[in-house]
Amino acid sequence: MNLDKESTILVAGAGGFIGGHIANELIKLGFRSVRGVDIKPFDEWYQIPAGATAIQADLKKLENALEATSDARYVINLAADMGGMGFIENNKALCMLSVLVNTHLLQASVENSVEKFFFSSSACVYAAEHQTEVDAAALKESDAYPAMPEDGYGWEKLFSERMCRHFSEDFGLQTRVARYHNIYGPQGTWIGGREKAPAAICRKVAEAVLTGDKNIDIWGDGLQTRSFTYIDDCVEGTLMLLGSEFSEPINIGSSEMVSINQLVDFVEEIAGVTLHRRYDLGAPKGVRGRNSDNTLIQSVFNWEPSTSLKDGLEVTYRWVYDQISKTLVD
């Protein structure tokens, strides 16, 4: 990894799922000055990494972005108002307001002479026409254009990608952009409406096991397809990209595509149960099929996510099960 561990590195959105894992990994790797910033109160942070400087601040405000990036050499921007499909389909304006975080962090990074800036984009930037079938071809980076991304959240991500490009061209800021594909794992959102499919399914199965109610509600017909990327692979790919000289948007995502029904199959197998499936055809379900084409990342880095979905779900289910067990005891 071509990064100076003595220099200050800012993790924006450090109180969130991915941000907390990345900040923890930086500490483990020996980075001496890790600064974590998040809008949430500290008691709502998913993790507060021991050894990091934790700051509560709203990075949609330029003055806070300037303070957060002061003396930083590297910026990892994960800060966003987002969640699973149920959240982003019903909160388009809130999702788009995250563009203020990206704008102000980019401005502040130039003002404070930041060397490298990482932006976490999303597979939601990809044009809808490529995602209409359950067996849709895997999405390669060029499929983002001509542009027709996910309404709201996807447009914000794609616009911010373009800002990174132009800040690099106009101001010399080195920008790195990763298009994440459905990141999941322990220490993530599993309840409350912002959880993504793996955590939601783990919760529903765990609740069925713990309560004896052998029914499970599934959004859509269960045939829609996705790939899901385990958090450890996301962290590794992110830091690899940040430390590299590669400057174009690139997929960080598993290429193991499954249907939602198959996802439920895996979690049922882990839990040792078989549930009665009730399909909610009116629920938010997003595109019909989405998968990551990893040709580019394999070519450039000889790397791609390696954690199988079954292995990642095993850890995630056990963690979610423990969280539900604690709430029942309380």
Give the number of C-alpha atoms closer than 13 A to the C-alpha of residue 24, restricted to the C-beta side. Answer: 16
Quick: pLDDT tens for 1-15.
Answer: 689 999 999 999 999
Model confidence, pTM: 0.96
Domains and CATH numbers, the chain: 8-183+231-252 (3.40.50.720), 185-227+257-329 (3.90.25.10)
Confidence tier at 329 by pLDDT (50, 70, 90): low
pLDDT in tens, 55-111: 999 999 999 999 999 999 999 999 998 887 788 888 999 999 999 999 999 999 999
Contacts 24+ apart (CB under 8 A), 169-174: 171/110, 173/106, 173/109, 173/110, 173/114, 173/116, 173/117, 174/115, 174/116, 174/117, 174/247
Supply the pLDDT for residue 4: 96
Q: Is 153 a catalytic site residue? A: yes
For residues 211 and 111, give the distance between their C-alpha atoms in angstroms, rounded to a whole number: 55
> Active-site residue among 46, 74, 126, 153?
153
Partners of 215 in the beta sheet? 276
